[in-house]
């Protein structure tokens, strides 16, 4: 056991739990009941930072009920819905813990796993991520698309991400501090976690079904999320179209040579309209697809150069230590 691990064994750390919330009114009560029981059983102090990401139901009111009864609960109210990645970033930015754990409110990532994560942190690991043993509870479509995404992503990028993992993980303060230094506006957190490196290990678990409420992740959102991940961490799609252009040019040259040979040596006249239309439509489709890929990357550049903050905080609520207060806080510049 190294020196850092020896120090951690005797340390009673402060643990920050980051909870992004969007329309989670139905599960908030059950979440706090479960999580606080698990945290109280740990050899650690704790705080819970809930980030209301522009909820349209009574999520914020429910969060404030618990914040008023426990000073260890802090609530951030964002000015609108910025997305889960931005909400996690907001929570990480205000966290003060020696270790930090992003955790969804729907309890599909079991809080009981935090104890095993903390044990691995005390063994010297800086990142302990939760890995699902299987996806048998998912639909066939979800299993196929998720598996395809991980395989494609890990083939196209130089920094692979572990399969069947999400944002649920324990991170040492050093990792969180380095994460806060990354300037990206498009926050594909799984990729950022992997890019940071640090000594990591996995804790496996079986993911239960969602107890209440419905997921806000439609297939369209998941598709766009996958595009964000691929274009944020790989330029291979751009390079592919260089090769496609070379291949199409070669095929066009060979086809032209074939037509010339057939006309001059075999005396076969080439009908014009059908062959021209096929070639034109094929090349037009290739050009539109390649322009779409280039547009995706240009869109990312457009977002980055504007230097807008990742999120805006409207109010921060923490009772007991201090009264709740208005803020004009922004995300990382």
SS (H, E, C) 129-186: EEEECCCCCCCHHHHHHHHHHHHHHHHHCCCCCCCCEEEEEEEEHHHHHHHHCCCCCC
pLDDT band at 157 (very low <50, low <70, confident <90, very high): confident
Quick check: 150 and 161 in contact, CB under 8 A?
Answer: yes
pTM for the full predicted model: 0.70
pLDDT band at 328 (very low <50, low <70, confident <90, very high): very low
Q: Half-sphere exposure of residue 60, counting CA atoms within 13 Å on the CB side?
A: 16
Tell me which of 106-110, 176-180, 258-262 is least confident.
Answer: 258-262
Please report, for residues 30, 106, 206, the alpha-carbon distance to residue 210 in angstroms, rounded to integers and kept in the order given: 12, 6, 12
Average pLDDT over residues 62-85: 89
Measure the CA dihedral 140/146/151/154, to 10°. Answer: -170
State how far the Cα of 41 lies from the Cα of 247, in Å rounded to an integer.
62
**Any idea where the domains of the chain sit in the sequence?**
3-218+308-326, 236-305
For the segment(s) 3-218+308-326, the CATH number from 3.40.50.300, 3.30.465.10, 3.90.550.10, 3.30.365.10 is: 3.90.550.10
pLDDT band at 162 (very low <50, low <70, confident <90, very high): confident
Residue bearing tokens 């649920």: 168
State how far the Cα of 161 lies from the Cα of 197, in Å rounded to an integer.
11
Is residue 87's pLDDT more than 60?
Answer: yes
Tokens of 314: 């409207």
pLDDT tens sequence across 208-250: 665 555 555 555 666 666 666 666 666 666 667 667 777 776 7
């Amino acid at each position: 056991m190294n020196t850092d691990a020896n120090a951690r064994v005797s340390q009673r750390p402060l643990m920050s739990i980051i909870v992004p919330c969007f329309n989670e009114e139905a599960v908030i009560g059950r979440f706090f009941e479960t999580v606080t029981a698990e945290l109280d059983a740990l050899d650690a102090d704790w705080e819970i930072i809930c980030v209301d990401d522009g909820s349209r139901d009574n999520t914020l009111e429910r969060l404030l009920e618990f914040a008023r009864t426990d000073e260890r609960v802090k609530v951030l109210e964002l000015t609108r819905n910025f997305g889960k990645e931005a909400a996690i970033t907001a929570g990480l930015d205000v966290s003060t813990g020696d270790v930090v754990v992003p955790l969804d409110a729907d309890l599909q990532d079991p809080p009981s796993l935090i104890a095993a994560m903390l044990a691995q942190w005390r063994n010297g690991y800086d990142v302990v991520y939760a890995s699902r043993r299987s996806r048998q509870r998912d639909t066939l479509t979800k299993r196929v698309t998720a598996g395809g995404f991980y395989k494609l992503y890990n083939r196209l990028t130089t920094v692979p991400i572990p399969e069947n993992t999400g944002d649920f993980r324990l991170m040492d303060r050093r990792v969180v501090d380095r994460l806060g230094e990354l300037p990206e506006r498009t926050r594909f957190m799984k990729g950022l976690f992997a890019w940071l490196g640090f000594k990591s290990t996995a804790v496996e678990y079986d993911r239960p079904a969602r107890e209440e409420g419905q997921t806000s992740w439609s297939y369209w959102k998941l598709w766009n999320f996958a595009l964000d991940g691929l274009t944020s961490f790989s330029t291979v799609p751009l390079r592919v179209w260089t090769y496609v252009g070379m291949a199409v040019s070669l095929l066009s040259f060979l086809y032209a040579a074939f037509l010339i040979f057939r006309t001059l040596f075999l005396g076969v006249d080439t009908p014009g309209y059908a062959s021209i239309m096929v070639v034109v439509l094929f090349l037009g489709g290739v050009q539109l697809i390649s322009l779409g890929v280039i547009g995706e990357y240009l869109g990312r550049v457009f977002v980055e150069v504007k230097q807008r903050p990742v999120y805006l905080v409207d109010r921060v609520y923490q009772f007991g230590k201090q009264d709740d207060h208005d803020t004009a806080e922004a995300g990382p510049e």
